[in-house]
Amino acid sequence: MIDTLDKLIDDISSLKSKLILLIGPPRSGKSDLLRQLSARRQAKVLNVGAVLGRELLTVPNTRRHLQAADLLKGITDDVAGKRSWK
């Protein structure tokens, strides 16, 4: 499975959008697969769930869908060292 995921990442490298969703039931090995991939590619794993959830709590329910993308970009920019995130 790690080889398939690694090849998929190579295949999408030229696309403008590079989002891959890794979906599976609990305890199916998703986190372990990501750890293997990050070690293989010498890349950070970014688990945005908790950070994004915390940030979305400050946004009114009716506006969350409008601001989620901007908040996610801010989180990833922080990890990439492009800005300071609180």
Q: Where are the domains of the chain?
A: 2-12+27-79
Task: Express each pLDDT in 6-32 by its tens digit.
Answer: 998 899 888 877 777 788 999 999 989
Residue 75 CA to residue 82 CA, distance in Å, equals 10
Of residues 25 and 78, the one with the higher pLDDT is: 25
Q: How many CA atoms lie within 13 A of 76 on its CB side?
A: 9
Please say whether the dihedral angle defined by the alpha carbons of residues 50, 54, 44 and 4, taken in this order, is positive or negative. positive
pLDDT of the residue at 2: 92
Residue 61 CA to residue 27 CA, distance in Å, equals 31
Residue 10 CA to residue 45 CA, distance in Å, equals 17
Task: Express each pLDDT in 47-68 by its tens digit.
Answer: 788 889 999 999 999 999 999 9
Rg over alpha carbons for the chain, rounded to the nearest Å, is: 15
